[in-house]
Structure 1
C-alpha cells in the first residue's frame, strides 16, 4: 500500500509527457539510455535527467552493465500496480506513443539483425570463437555435474548454435530438439549430429521468444551462452518456462558481470554478463526456483585457454508446480 504523500509523489514523477513515454517504453522491456535517446529523439542529458527523477521516485530501477546502464520498471508491487493502471488506458494510437513504439521496434530489429549478421559471418568458426573466452571442457564437465544422474526424457536446447549441448547431453536424453534462428548455425549443427547414434536429436529453425507450438513438453530446457545476445533476457526465460513440465529443470550458462565492451561492439553482445541477483529475480518471475548457482572462476579454469578476466556461471532451476502458465 502507498501513503497519500507517496501516491502524490509518484503521480508527480510520472505526470510529465517524456517521463510517461519512458514508462510506456520500459513496460516493453529493459532499455539502455542510448536506446531511449534514439527512440525519443531527445538529448542524452535530457533523457538521463528524466530517468533520474523516475529512479529517485522508485518507479524505475537501474541495471549498470560496464559503461552502459539499462533501465527497467520497478519490482515494487504497489508502484508497479500504479504504473500498470496508468498505462492501461493510454491510447496506443496517440501520435507520440505510436511513433515511440515504431522506433522501439526498429531498434529491436536492428539489434536482432546485428546479431544475425554476426552469427552468419562466424557460424563456421563459432566453436573456435567460443573457445577464446569459454573453456568448453571445464564448462561441459560442470554442466554434467550440475545435472547429475537424473534421467532426461525430453530435452530442448534454446539457441542451439552448432549443437554443442545436444551433442554433450545426447546420450543422456530420450529425445532432444535444438532451436535456433540462424540457418547457417543449424546447417553446422545438423552436420555435427549426423549419424545413427544421434537419430533422436533434431534441430529446427525457430524463435526462442515464441515457443507456443512446443508448450509443456520438456523436462529439461537448456540456454547455453544465449541470453547475453538478447535485449530482454527475462522474456526468454519466461517463454522457456512455459514449455517446461511442472518439476522440470532449466539450465542456464552465461557470463558473470564483466566490463569487456569489445564483446558488445565486435561480437553483438547486448549484455555484459549477469549477476546472481538478476538471474534469481528473473527465474522467480518465470516461476522457477534456483537450486544451483555455480561460478567457474578464472583461477579454477587456468590452463584451459580462457580469458583470465571472464567468469562463467551455471544456474540450474526447477519449475514450481504451482507456477502460472499462460496458454
Structure 2
C-alpha cells in the first residue's frame, strides 16, 4: 500500500534538511545511538536528539531501548522504507560530506567490534569445547538452511540470537524484516559487530526475554530457536511464547541436542537440560497449538577415544491457521 500525499510530504520535509539527511544516509548502514551520531556528525547531543525526534515523528526512523542505551535505525519496510531506499540510493557516493561521515562511522564500528570481540574471547573457549562434541558447524548450518528453505519466508526472528549467526545465514534479498532477540547486551554487541562486518543490512537487534519477548504477535513467518532451550528452566514456556509470534502458516524451527549424559555441561556451561527427546519437543509444540512438521537428527562424527558425543536434532512446528489469500500471493511472488 502506497503513501498518501500528506504522508509522503511529511517524509520529504523530514529528510529535506542537511543534518537530517546526513543522519538518514548514515543510518542506512545500521543502527546507531545518539552518542554515535554526535561523534559522526560533529554536532551537539541536544541538536542530534531534536533531529531524531523529527525523523521519528515522520516515521523515518525507529527507536528501541537496549539496557541503558537507545538505538535508532532507518525504517526499512513498507512504503516509507521503499521511499527512503530510493532517496539514499540516489545520493552521490563521492559527496565529500557523506564520505567523511562514513569514514567516522567506520571508526565507530571498529571500536564497537574491538569491544565485542574482547567479550567474546572470554567465552569462545567454552563454546569451542561444546562445538567439538557435535557435528561440524557447517553441517548443522546446512541442515538449518535446508529446513528453512522448504517454504519461502519474508519475516524471520532468531530467539536467543547470540552471535547473530542464524540471522547471517537466513537473511537474503527476499527477507523484508529480520529480528534477533537476546537477553545479553554483551552478546548483542557481538552480533551487531559480526553482522556489520559481514555487511548484513536491515537487521533489528532487540534486548529481551524469550519468556516475554517485546515483539508483536502474528508477525513472523519463520522463527528459529537455535541451541537455546537447553539453557532454560522452562523451555516449554519459551515455545509457547514463540508460537504466539508466528504469522498464520508460519514455522518454528528448533535446533538443540538429543538426550545425552554429559553432566559436565551443567556445571561448566550452565546447561539446564541434557538434551530433549523427540516426544518431549513434539508434545510442547502441540500444546502450543502448532502442527508438528519434520524431525531430523545430525549424528556426530565418531570419536577415536570412545567418548560420548552430542547428536543435534531439528524440529519444526507449523502454525495451523490458514494463510490468507493476500499472504499466499506474496509468498508465490517471493519464491
Answer yes or no: same fold by TM over 0.5: yes
Check the 8 A contact 1:293/1:313 in 2, yes or no.
yes
Report the 3-state secondary structure (helix = DSSP H, G, I; strand = E; otherwise coil) of the residue aligned with 1:204.
strand
Report the 3-state secondary structure (helix = DSSP H, G, I; strand = E; otherwise coil) of the residue aligned with 1:179.
strand
Equivalent residue runs for 1:117-266 within 5 Å = 122-125=122-125, 128-134=128-134, 135-171=136-172, 173-194=175-196, 197-266=199-268
Asked if 1:311 corresponds to 2:311, the answer is yes
Report the 3-state secondary structure (helix = DSSP H, G, I; strand = E; otherwise coil) of the residue aligned with 1:241.
helix
Check the 8 A contact 1:158/1:208 in 2, yes or no.
yes
State how far apart, in whole Å, the 2-side matches of 1:122 and 1:260 are.
23
Alignment partner, residue 52 of structure 2: none
Q: Which segments of 5 or more consecutive residues in structure 1 lack a partner in the other structure?
A: 1-118, 323-327
Q: 1:121 to 1:287 in 2, by over 3 A?
A: farther
CA RMSD of aligned residues (A): 2.5
Report the 3-state secondary structure (helix = DSSP H, G, I; strand = E; otherwise coil) of the residue aligned with 1:274.
coil
State how far apart, in whole Å, the 2-side matches of 1:249 and 1:152 are.
9
Aligned positions, number? 200
C-alpha deviation, 1:222, in angstroms: 0.3
Q: 1:145 to 1:263 in 2, by over 3 A?
A: same
Instruction: Give a deviation string over 1:245-271, Cα, whole Å, max 9, x none.
Output: 121000000000000000011100000
Equivalent residue runs for 1:261-272 within 5 Å = 261-272=263-274
Q: TM-score, normalised by structure 2?
A: 0.55
Check the 8 A contact 1:166/1:176 in 2, yes or no.
yes
Check the 8 A contact 1:124/1:188 in 2, yes or no.
no
Report the 3-state secondary structure (helix = DSSP H, G, I; strand = E; otherwise coil) of the residue aligned with 2:188.
helix
Report the 3-state secondary structure (helix = DSSP H, G, I; strand = E; otherwise coil) of the residue aligned with 1:291.
strand
C-alpha deviation, 1:213, in angstroms: 3.5
State how far apart, in whole Å, the 2-side matches of 1:237 and 1:177 are.
17
Equivalent residue runs for 1:62-77 within 5 Å = none
Q: 1:233 to 1:267 in 2, by over 3 A?
A: same
Q: 1:312 to 1:212 in 2, by over 3 A?
A: same
